[in-house]
């Protein structure tokens, strides 16, 4: 079990992410990429791209900091041909980047559907993605946190995945692993400790968001009213990190627990972000060490 963090919000690039992690003695870091154009098919990395990424890879090796995963901030809709057509080339391109960096996990989000053919469509989509990633030594990692496009959006507009969806997907796609979010379990009414027994073997990564629920707004407007929850930094919300990490140890979890600074009360000023990161690591580190 290792601690890491999502360095994207720091805006310092891949090499800056490594430096930030190394300074804090962290063995891993993750980084997110916004959706990008690829054309009809992803082209191979050009000479300049390879040179730049090799420089980052050398820094990574020299500092002893690995990339736990590269995140694609894109929510694929398996029943939508246009969405899948955009998704697969982006995943393939990112896998090329990951190969140079020595990263083996490409994370993404997925929007569920109520249609009867949803699971076969997902299986087809993820099989294609897995085959493309495998050529570059990577595997798909499904993020169970709220997709970027739906953060701040009422449940009236979208449907979150439920544990049976997670289990169905892992069963249908053997190469798929999960990026678990206990905070999202809390706002969805899922017991994040009890649910581990059915999915722990598939969890490679844990997103360390915390969660704050506005009970006054929830009881007044209900689940489908205005947004009544928000992410907080670890220790500022309702997740019991000590209990969660102890439970993960019981299931022999050997992946990464990654601090995410999506707390709206944390300023984007670099010093404030560093302060929030250090506070979050201080909260989690004793549980991981013990």
User: For every one of its 290 residues, what pLDDT tens digit does the chain have, with 9 covering 90 and above?
Assistant: 999 999 999 999 999 999 999 999 999 999 999 999 887 767 788 899 999 999 999 999 999 999 999 999 999 999 899 999 999 999 999 999 999 999 999 999 999 988 888 889 999 999 999 999 999 999 999 999 999 999 999 999 999 999 999 999 999 899 999 999 999 999 999 999 999 999 999 999 999 999 999 999 999 999 999 999 999 999 999 999 999 999 999 999 999 999 999 999 999 999 999 999 999 999 999 999 86
The torsion angles phi and psi of 106, rounded to 5 degrees, stand at -115, 115
Domains of the chain are 2-289 (3.20.20.150)
d(CA 141, CA 9): 20
Annotate 33-66 with DSSP letters as a single string.
E------SSPPPP-HHHHHHHHHHHHHHHHHT-E
Q: Please give the model's pTM, rounded to 2 decimal places.
A: 0.94
Q: What is the pLDDT of residues 68-105, one digit of tens each?
A: 999 999 999 998 999 999 999 999 999 999 999 999 99
Cβ–Cβ < 8 Å for 211, 234: no
The torsion angles phi and psi of 70, rounded to 5 degrees, stand at -110, 130
């Amino acid at each position: 079990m290792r601690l890491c963090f999502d360095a994207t919000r720091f805006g310092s690039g891949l090499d800056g992410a490594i430096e930030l992690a190394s300074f804090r003695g962290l063995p891993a870091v993750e980084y997110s990429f916004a959706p990008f154009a690829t054309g009809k098919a992803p082209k191979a990395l050009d000479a300049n791209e390879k040179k730049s990424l090799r420089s980052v890879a050398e820094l990574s090796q020299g500092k002893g900091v690995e990339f736990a995963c590269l995140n694609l901030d894109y929510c694929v809709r398996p029943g939508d041909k246009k969405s899948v057509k955009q998704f697969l080339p982006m995943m393939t391109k990112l896998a090329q980047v990951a190969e140079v960096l020595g990263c083996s996990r490409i994370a993404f989000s997925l929007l569920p559907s109520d249609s009867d053919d949803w699971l076969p469509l997902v299986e087809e989509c993820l099989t294609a993605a897995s085959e493309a990633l495998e050529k570059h030594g990577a595997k798909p990692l499904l993020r169970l946190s709220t997709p970027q496009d739906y953060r701040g959006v009422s449940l009236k507009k979208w449907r979150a995945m439920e544990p049976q969806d997670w289990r169905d997907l892992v069963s249908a796609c053997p190469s798929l692993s999960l990026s678990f979010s206990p905070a999202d379990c809390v706002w969805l009414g899922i017991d994040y400790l009890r649910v581990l027994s059915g999915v722990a073997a598939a969890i490679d990564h844990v997103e360390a968001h915390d969660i704050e629920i506005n009970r006054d707004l929830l009881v007044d407007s209900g689940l489908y009213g205005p947004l009544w929850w928000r992410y907080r930094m670890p220790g500022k919300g309702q997740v019991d990190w000590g209990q969660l990490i102890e439970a993960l140890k019981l299931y022999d979890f050997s992946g990464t627990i990654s601090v995410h600074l999506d707390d709206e009360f944390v300023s984007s000023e670099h010093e404030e972000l560093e302060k929030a990161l250090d506070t979050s690591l201080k909260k989690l580190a004793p549980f991981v060490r013990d």
